[in-house]
Amino acid sequence: MFSAGAPVAATRTSPFAVLPMGLKTALHRRFESGADRLDGPIMTRYFTDLAAGHDVGYSPDLVATARGNTFLTLAGELLHGQVNEPIDLVVVAHDGPDFDPRLSAPVNLTAVLPGGPMTYSVSGQGPLAGFLALRVAAGYVRRKPMRRVLILIMEQRGMPYAGVRPPADAAAALLFETGAGSTRVALLPGIDPADARSEADRLAPADRYGPGLTGGPVAEGRSVTALWAAPPAVLADYDPMRGTLGMCAFAGENEPSAPL
């Protein structure tokens, strides 16, 4: 059994948590419309109850016609033939819910990935889901020595109720390994939209800014995974709904860290 306490707080001198692993492999892929289906009275009842509890527009007719890719499908196709070494920890991050709530990507990944890794699923930070996953991973690695950590960031648009949707089904995979460098990540709440870009630049001028910091379309057509495709040394993005700034800095084994 693995036991963990409260997350380790960032220090007073730095808001960054450290994952003592470097980025070994980065994958990103967009998918065509999937073939997974949701039809059936059980799912009609489920989505009816879910939508009513969260005041979300819902049409029962959509359940019978919805097609999409589950997180299981996205992860399986993205990782096929890519992971051969044992993994210690997997964190699945997503903005919206899975297409089919009856399936669990984390449970499946524990069974199929080498090493039988611990797996977790995180959400609740909107477009900053990837930053949250890295923050969680950094906390676990501080408590238990690990060699490899896999971060999976998922998004899909085939949901049978109204809401903001990404432009396409997509997935990103980030494989971290000890001896390959280090990674630092921060999630900073309470940042005013007018100060977000200047605060990001004060901490570390980024090589890539997300739409929340460039004035791009933050909600409609927002992609959670695109920011992590072939990531540069420093990434930054901002979620105005939560007033939270996310930053991440990668350093190779023999590379100097970004001045944070």
pLDDT in tens, the chain (260 residues): 444 444 444 444 578 999 999 999 999 999 987 778 877 778 888 888 877 777 777 777 777 777 788 899 999 999 999 999 999 999 999 988 788 888 888 889 999 999 999 999 998 888 899 999 999 999 999 888 899 999 999 998 877 766 677 888 899 999 999 999 999 999 999 999 999 999 999 998 999 999 889 876 555 456 789 899 999 999 999 999 899 999 999 998 766 665 55
* pLDDT in the model for residue 159: 73
Residues 6+ apart with CB under 8 A from 1: none
Q: Which helix (H) or strand (E) holds 94?
A: strand 89-94
Q: What is the pLDDT of residue 5?
A: 46
Return phi, psi of residue 258, to 5°: -65, 145
Distance CA 144, CA 137 (A): 11
Backbone angles phi, psi at 181, to 5 degrees: 125, -155
pTM here is 0.87
Please enumerate in sequence order all residues whose Cβ is within 8 A of that of 123, keeping only pairs 6 or more positions apart, or say none: 93, 94, 95, 97, 129, 132
Look at the block and give the residue holding tokens 């967009």. Answer: 30
Cβ neighbours of 49 (radius 10 Å)? 11
Question: What angle do helix axes 71-79 and 105-112 make, rounded to 10 degrees?
Answer: 30
Within 8 A by CB and 6+ apart from 102, the residues are: 43
Taking the C-alpha atoms of residue 55 and residue 51, their distance in angstroms, rounded to an integer, is 6
Give pLDDT, residue 8.
47
